Chain A
Amino acid sequence: MSLLEIRDLKVTFGGLDALSGLNFHVDEGEIVSVIGPNGAGKTTFFNAISGLVPPTEGEIDFEGESILGLDPSIVTSLGIARTFQNVRLFPNMTVLENVMVAQHCRTNQLLVGALLQTKAFKKEEREIRERAEEVLGFFGHRLIGYRMDQPAFALSYANRRRLEIARAMATQPRMLLLDEPVAGMNPIETIELTEMIGRLRTEWGFTIVVIEHDMKVVRDVSDRVVVLDHGVPIAQGSYDEVSTDPDVIEAYLGRPVEAAS
């Protein structure tokens, strides 16, 4: 059974089909890339899975259970975490706090614990902090040390993208949805992050779905590639298969001009 299974997904916005007839599955431990020209509906796809946008039709099953129409916070607690295309951190919270708050759905101390400073509360706070440092440590020395207490808005662009991923990791998901993780990064950072995505699978055991435009990344990272165009899947397969598929080329580059005669 696939970890994530999507059948006939359709999302309509004001008369326009952002997604239609989408069938998709991800098996545990896979890294699947979703590519397509701009406006193809890729982020809408993520939004539909994570519950931010209600699908018009179709089914979304995670671990065998339907997650269609569930609130985003419940989807996250069930094990799907995501990053945002236009990095949406909590800008005025520190790096550490960003990652600590992401563990909200995995912890349960309430009002009473905080007020009475019970042992259970203190223990949980410690664990939250430790786990946060562990996640941040994945990115080397960039997000730890004095950086942990800096507000998120003070980070450089690349570090913000990394924090975004760290935050998603902290929700202890089974599946990560990464929306253009290397957008705007320079070549060195891109190479590094590509390698990290691989390590996310091998060291941390996440199943990963990646939206990307950078084909080198797609080639180096994916087990499988799905191509969307105008909300419809037009190709699926390995990177080599897909990159030579004429439909895909046409979607990106347009139909070649017919010879004049």
Chain B
Amino acid sequence: MAMTVMSIALTALVTVFSAGLLTMRRASQETTASFLADIQLETYRAMTSKDIGLDLSAGTVSALDSNYTNDTACANSGAGTTCAANGVSGTETGPTGATPDTCTQINAWYPNTLPCTPSRTISSSTTPASPDGRSYRVDTYIVQLPATTGTNAQRAVKQVTVVVRDSSNLTSYLARESSVFDCSTGITPNSTDC
């Protein structure tokens, strides 16, 4: 009887501590993921609008898994289609402009965040390393939204969404941030790209 009561009490004690630690760990991971999403999105603010795009070469696209292609951010709101149904290259955009820069060149300009890479993993062994040493995957989606006319007319814009996932559990996400970039705010000097 005494042993039973004691084992129940011990189990409860361990459970309470474990739950507290897991909650804290999850909150810490979400904070780190939020850092990573902020850092990734900040890169696009420095870039010219025409360079905001993803590497859509066949090899890169075919390497993307269903966690990437099934994400809602992969949907092109203009056409109402999804990456999973239509292929990444059908809904996302690469670098644009009259003379687009290559993704190799763009990634070389911004080596810390590789803004042209659709999906990359950040861990303790990458440069720069993951802030807390754990492994995260940063998925980036860039969709060209067409210009609209009428009362709410707007120029064509590029919508960038950054989704950060735990590398050990890719089915859900830890942080998600999105921003829209108008070509006029990132126009290349003396160009006619916008």
A is bound by B: no
